[in-house]
Amino acid sequence: MKIKAVRRPETPEQARDWARELGEQALYVAGGTGLHFMTDPAEMVAIPLDRIGLRGVECSGRHYRIGALTPLADVMNYRAERWAFHETGRRTATHQIRNISTVGGNICRVFPWCDLPVALLALEATMVLLGDDGYAVPADDYFASQPARRLANGDLLLAVDVPVLEAHMGFGYRKEVICHSGFSLMTVAARLRLEGDRIRDARVAAGAALPFPARLKQVEALLADQPATPDTFARAATEGVREVAWKGREDWSDAYAAHAAAIAVRDALDRALTFARRRDW
Amino acid sequence: MNDPLTLHIRLNGEPRVFAADPDEKLLELLRRHGLKGAKFGCREGVCGACTVLLDGRAVYACLLPACLADGHEVVTIEGVGDQEHPHPFQQALVEAGAVQCGFCIPGMVLSAKALLDENPQPEDEEIREKMDGNLCRCTGYEKIWTALKAVIAAGGGGGEDAS
Ligand SMILES: Cc1cc2nc3c(=O)[nH]c(=O)nc-3n(C[C@H](O)[C@H](O)[C@H](O)COP(=O)(O)OP(=O)(O)OC[C@H]3O[C@@H](n4cnc5c(N)ncnc54)[C@H](O)[C@@H]3O)c2cc1C
Ligand code: FES
Ligand code: FES
């Protein structure tokens, strides 16, 4: 795509108004790193978002609010009690990309390798958007299809609310790449809620080796109300991913992607369990 | 060419005004104005040869739309030391014999400068995290690592520069 003009708003409302006025020609630009992958020949008017604020992470008690313009590096550096999301940012691309790519850019146009949608699905996040007014969309609904289509009317992502993990909850993230800074080939995120030694419920999501990030509902069903043991995890990871249509990317065959999925699910669950049982906070 | 944009950028410590094509990347703009230290390497956000600092953070100039630099501070390798007054990491690279073809070095220096400016005493894990976007096809990284560790051991940089 080609940028033929630039209009630089000072507020989210001004950005939205200009996007609506420009219609199909409007293109919000956050970090701009995604433009590299948007290869259709359309001529667009860029609306850079770097002056409208929406940057940083704040805790409200029940959730962390991450501004849409927060660079991934800041997400990775943020530390607080029961905050696990930095585990995802750490594994995204390279430092130079994490410095400029934003949370919003990663989830408003979801490329297959994007890390955050998978983690946000597992963490039961909520997206906060600006349309005529502000409105909120839960992750399951937001990632049901390509968000860029939902946002084509000029709606702007303002923030992401990530619930604070309760004491008996744990989160694990697993990403497979060919080399350190390579594109994701398989991503799995898991959130476990324990009750004593049993799993009360689980949210598990995968991406990269799927056409679009999605929850692994069969894995979740095999975990619910089961003892939190290696056997449970092994069974959920092998049986739960069997019916999923895995899609190998780069040099991976579909069969290898299916094999890798079972391992990644198990690893993510192991991490989530370790996290849930940590007593140091 | 579309109607040019007017960009106000504080470049290597000097306020500058540039005319830029709306579709231009920062790397193209810098090189068009004679600042050729940032290199065209992969042009796809992988190699790090185009690294510059935007408000003190290392970014890939090959990906960055020039319009996003408007109103911001940019430091290129031309603003970090010179032959008489090299940045401590530049000096350490020479002393460690860490430069072969040199293509990656401007980007390496800028990533290291950003790292040391933020934390003059980084642990190894932080070094790996913050230098992970610069590839070197010649040296095998060992001597670059040695040079960086030498700077850290000596107090962590903070050399002369225009920024
Ligand atoms: C070489 C390379 C490797 C990468 N590897 C990975 C990886 O492994 N994992 C990963 O997760 N990511 C990876 N990325 C990053 C990812 O591909 C995107 O480039 C990045 O997430 C886009 O973020 P941005 O802030 O630059 O968004 P932009 O490029 O500015 O925008 C992306 C899209 O989102 C829209 N948009 C942005 N912000 C908003 C908003 N607030 N409201 C509405 N719409 C908005 C824009 O209009 C555009 O359509 C990689 C990138 C590169 C270049
Ligand atoms: S030229 Fe920019 S990262 Fe390679
Ligand atoms: S010295 Fe040649 S690429 Fe690094």
Q: Are residues A37 and A63 in the same domain?
A: no
At residue A119's C-alpha, the angle toward residues A114 and A122, to 5°, is 140
Whether the per-residue pLDDT at A15 is higher than 80: the answer is yes
> Which residue carries 């604020």 as its tokens?
A53
Q: Are residues A146 and A218 in the same domain?
A: no
- Which residue from A61, A98, A56, A67 is spatially nearest to A81, judged by alpha carbons? A61
- Report residue B53 as tokens: 């600092």
What torsion do the CA atoms of B108, B109, B110, B113 make, to the nearest 10 degrees? 120
Whether the per-residue pLDDT at A180 is higher than 80: the answer is no
Whether B137 is in the pocket of ligand 3, judged by its Cβ within 6 Å, is: yes
Q: Which of B5, B110, B132 to mutate to test the interface with A (most CBs of A within 10 A)?
A: B132
Interval A159-173: pLDDT, tens: 999 999 988 999 999
CB contact under 8 A, A181 and B46: yes
Interval A94-132: pLDDT, tens: 999 999 999 999 999 999 899 999 999 999 999 999 999
Q: Going by CA atoms, what residue is nearest to atom 3 of ligand 2?
A: B45
Per-residue model confidence (pLDDT) at position A85? 81
Whether A111 is in the pocket of ligand 1, judged by its Cβ within 6 Å, is: yes
Q: Are residues A19 and A118 in the same domain?
A: no
Which residues between 82 and 141 in chain B have a beta carbon less than 8 angstroms from any beta carbon of chain A? 111, 129-133
Per-residue model confidence (pLDDT) at position A26? 97
All residues at 6 or more sequence positions from B98 whose CB lies less than 8 Å from its CB, including other chains: B92, B139, B143, B144, B146, B147
Q: Going by CA atoms, what residue is nearest to atom 2 of ligand 3?
A: B101
C-alpha of residue B103 to centroid of ligand 3, in Å: 5
Q: How far apart are CA A235 and CA A223, in angstroms?
A: 9
Q: Are residues A98 and A191 in the same domain?
A: no
Per-residue model confidence (pLDDT) at position A281? 41
- Does B156 lie at the interface with A, CB-CB under 8 angstroms? no
Whole-number Cα distances in Å, A128 to A157, A159, A191: 6, 5, 21
C-alpha of residue B148 to centroid of ligand 3, in Å: 15
Q: How far apart are CA B58 and CA B75, in angstroms?
A: 9
Domain range enclosing A13: 2-48
CB contact under 8 A, B44 and A36: yes
Last residue of a domain, one of A163, A191, A209: A163
| pLDDT tier, A184 (very low <50, low <70, confident <90, very high otherwise) | confident
Q: Are residues A86 and A129 in the same domain?
A: yes
Q: Are residues A158 and A187 in the same domain?
A: no
Per-residue model confidence (pLDDT) at position A23? 96
Q: Are residues A157 and A217 in the same domain?
A: no
CATH number, domain containing residue A177:
3.30.390.50
Looking at ligand 2, which atom is closest to the CA of residue B51?
A: 2
Per-residue model confidence (pLDDT) at position B128? 94
Looking at ligand 1, which atom is closest to the CA of residue A33?
A: 26
Q: Are residues A202 and A136 in the same domain?
A: no
Per-residue model confidence (pLDDT) at position B160? 47
Q: Cβ(A128)–Cβ(A159) under 8 Å? A: yes
Residuewise pLDDT in 10s, chain B (163 residues) = 567 899 999 999 999 999 999 999 999 999 999 999 999 999 999 999 999 999 999 999 999 999 999 999 999 999 998 889 999 999 999 999 999 999 999 999 999 999 999 999 999 999 999 999 999 999 999 999 999 999 999 987 654 444 4
Q: How far apart are CA A271 and CA A119, in angstroms?
A: 13
How large a percentage of chain A has pLDDT more than 70? 98
Whether B120 is in the pocket of ligand 1, judged by its Cβ within 6 Å, is: no
Whole-number Cα distances in Å, A188 to A32, A179, B12, B47, B155: 26, 17, 43, 27, 41
Q: Are residues A159 and A173 in the same domain?
A: no
CATH number, domain containing residue A88:
3.30.465.10
Last residue of a domain, one of A97, A129, A163: A163
- Report residue A253 as tokens: 């065959």
Which residue of A5, A36, A99 is in closest CB contact with B58?
A99
Q: Are residues A273 and A199 in the same domain?
A: yes
Domain count for chain A: 3
Per-residue model confidence (pLDDT) at position B157? 67
Per-residue model confidence (pLDDT) at position A197? 92
Q: Cβ(A25)–Cβ(A43) under 8 Å? A: yes
CB contact under 8 A, A96 and B23: no
Per-residue model confidence (pLDDT) at position A232? 97
Q: With both helix axes pointing from N to C terminus, report the angle between B88-96 and B142-153 in degrees, rounded to the nearest 10.
A: 130
How large a percentage of chain A has pLDDT more than 90? 84
Query: How would you write chain A as a 3-class SS string?
Result: CEEEEECCCCCHHHHHHHHHHHHHHEEEECCCHHHHHCCCCCEEEEEECCCCCCCCEEECCCEEEEECCCEHHHHHHCCCCCCCCHHHHCCCCCHHHHHHCEHHHHHHCCCCCCCHHHHHHHCCCEEEEECCCEEEEEHHHHCCCCHHHHHHHCCEEEEEEEECCCCCEEEEEEEECCCCCCCCCEEEEEEEEEECCEEEEEEEEEECCCCCCEECHHHHHHHCCCECCHHHHHHHHHHHCCCCCCCCCCCCCHHHHHHHHHHHHHHHHHHHHHHHHCCCC
- Which residue from B118, B134, B136, B138 is spatially nearest to B126, judged by alpha carbons? B118
- Report residue A132 as tokens: 């005529």
Last residue of a domain, one of A140, A163, A186: A163
